[in-house]
Amino acid sequence: MSPSDLIVIFRTQSDIEANVVEALLDSHGVQTLRTAGPTPGLFQFKLNPLGETCIAVRDEDAAEAVRIIDSHREQVGGGIVVPLPQEFDALEARLGYRFRDRGLLEHALTHKSKAHEDPSGGVVDNESMEFLGDAVLGLVVADALFRSFPTSSEGQKSKIKANLVSTASLAELAEQLGLGKHMILGRGEEKTGGRRKQALLADTCEALIAAIYLDGGLDPARSFLMRELSSGIADAKQPEYFGRDHKSRLQEQLQARGRPLPSYRVSGEVGPDHRKLFHVEVCVGAEVIAQGVGRTKKEAEQEGARLALAALRSQP
């Protein structure tokens, strides 16, 4: 294509969005040319927030290209193919942080099920960002506990940290932030209730932390986390905090009701070794009364016991 025959019909600061648009137009037989943007490098995410990527087409294809893009923006039911910038306004307001590069935010919200369904290979999932977000979260929480609990033992601080960064806590934070409705999922995951799954919500929350860190550095990530986790840290200062053990409480509740003591069995393990999630069933006799998920068997058992206690409270 000659540059003189081209018209720019799409501009974005998101590499992910540009890749999706290119693949979309190509699938409709519209030839495109990326006329600006960063050179692909080692990382799948864009570190330069100021770069703009332009998608250009032939003059005679311009109207059709715009129609195709607009039609997918309005698509309902199968997920939005081209994320619209204004969709993230409410989320950024809730986060208290405005991204310079919204492509990082899109990347953080993109589940592997969406990437697997993309024939162009241009959509990258958020698994690497989860790994980074987990490290940033651990650092910020450890630093906060070191400063807030100078006389507490290492074991006590470790217990507080485990509670704050657990799958259940992160999933709860994700729900408070409304991440479920913003996650970019594949059709299969959408149909199986992926927006409500604890593991997906927790992973997306970690990826979001990484996105803030990559976009603005450690200080904005720390500010965001301290706002969201401050109540949990304050809660840990209460005298009864270390007496909380869901498994012990469940045992007491079952004994008080004249029922057998609970047992715990691992029903499944998913994910790579460095990101493994354990699924544990809480059994009373032959009945499974709850299931817990966690990054360790102990965490999964505690989460299962917490859910079992909630289930018992709802019974007469």
CATH of the domain at 63: 3.30.70.790
| 104 domain residue, yes or no | no
What mean pLDDT do residues 212-239 have?
93
What mean pLDDT do residues 171-186 have?
92
184 and 260 share a domain?
no
Angle at 303 between CA 284 and CA 172, to 5 degrees: 140
Query: Which of these is catalytic: 125, 134, 299, 303?
Result: 134
- The pTM of the full predicted model, rounded to 2 decimals, is 0.61
72 and 140 share a domain?
no
Q: Which amino acid is at 66?
A: V
269 and 299 share a domain?
yes
145 and 225 share a domain?
yes
Identify which has the larger pLDDT, 40 or 6. Answer: 6
Query: Which of these is catalytic: 15, 17, 206, 301?
Result: 206
Indicate if 134 belongs to the active site.
Answer: yes
| 53 domain residue, yes or no | yes
Does position 283 have pLDDT exceeding 90, yes or no?
yes
Q: What is the DSSP letter of 126?
A: S
> Cα separation of 252 and 246, whole Å?
10
- The pLDDT assigned to 69 comes to 79
237 and 269 share a domain?
no
- Domain end, chosen from 242, 277, 305, is at 242
- Domain end, chosen from 181, 214, 242, is at 242
Q: What tokens appear for 73 in the block? A: 């923006």
> Cα separation of 56 and 34, whole Å?
6
For 206, residues 6+ apart whose C-beta sits below 8 A from its C-beta are: 129, 130, 133, 134, 137, 170
- The pLDDT assigned to 39 comes to 40
217 and 191 share a domain?
yes
pLDDT band at 138 (very low <50, low <70, confident <90, very high): very high
| 98 domain residue, yes or no | no
Q: Which amino acid is at 281?
A: E
User: Under a CB-based contact definition with an 8 Å cutoff, are residues 203 and 231 in contact?
Assistant: no
Between the ranges 60-74, 117-131, 205-219, where is the mean pLDDT highest?
Answer: 205-219
pLDDT band at 87 (very low <50, low <70, confident <90, very high): low
236 and 274 share a domain?
no
Does position 86 have pLDDT exceeding 70, yes or no?
no
For the range 156-160, what are the long-range contacts, defined as Cβ-Cβ under 8 Å and sequence gap of 24 or more?
156/242, 159/242, 160/233, 160/236, 160/241
pLDDT band at 244 (very low <50, low <70, confident <90, very high): low
Averaged pLDDT of the chain? 83
- Domain end, chosen from 193, 223, 242, is at 242
| 119 domain residue, yes or no | no
256 and 234 share a domain?
no
Least confident of 62-76, 142-156, 159-173, 183-197: 62-76
What mean pLDDT do residues 152-170 have?
90
| 258 domain residue, yes or no | yes
Q: What tokens appear for 269 in the block? A: 């393990």
| 93 domain residue, yes or no | no
> Cα separation of 104 and 102, whole Å?
5
- The pLDDT assigned to 173 comes to 94
Q: What tokens appear for 139 in the block? A: 């650092």
- The pLDDT assigned to 49 comes to 42
Q: What tokens appear for 169 in the block? A: 């806590």
Angle at 83 between CA 81 and CA 85, to 5 degrees: 160
56 and 133 share a domain?
no
Identify which has the larger pLDDT, 306 or 174. Answer: 174
Chain-centre distance of CA 213, in angstroms? Answer: 14
The percentage of residues in the chain with a pLDDT greater than 90, rounded to a whole number, is 40
**Count of domains for the chain:** 3
142 and 203 share a domain?
yes
φ, ψ dihedrals at 150, nearest 5°? -65, -25
| 94 domain residue, yes or no | no
Partnered with residue 33 across adjacent β-strands are 56
276 and 199 share a domain?
no
- The pLDDT assigned to 273 comes to 75
Indicate which CATH number applies to the domain containing 300.
Answer: 3.30.160.20
What is the residue whose two structure tokens read 């007469």?
316
Identify which has the larger pLDDT, 11 or 49. Answer: 11
194 and 207 share a domain?
yes
Helix (H) or strand (E) holding 7: strand 6-12
Domain that holds residue 269: 245-313
Q: What is the DSSP letter of 184?
A: B
What mean pLDDT do residues 262-282 have?
88
| 179 domain residue, yes or no | yes
What mean pLDDT do residues 266-295 have?
88
- The pLDDT assigned to 179 comes to 94
> Cα separation of 189 and 174, whole Å?
17
For the stretch 39-57, pLDDT in tens is 443 344 444 444 577 888 9
CA neighbor of 259 nearest in space, from 289, 225, 296: 289
| C-alpha to C-alpha distances, 17 to 6, 45, 87, 127, 162, nearest whole angstrom | 20, 12, 13, 18, 36
Indicate if 175 belongs to the active site.
Answer: no
**Cα Rg of the chain, angstroms:** 23
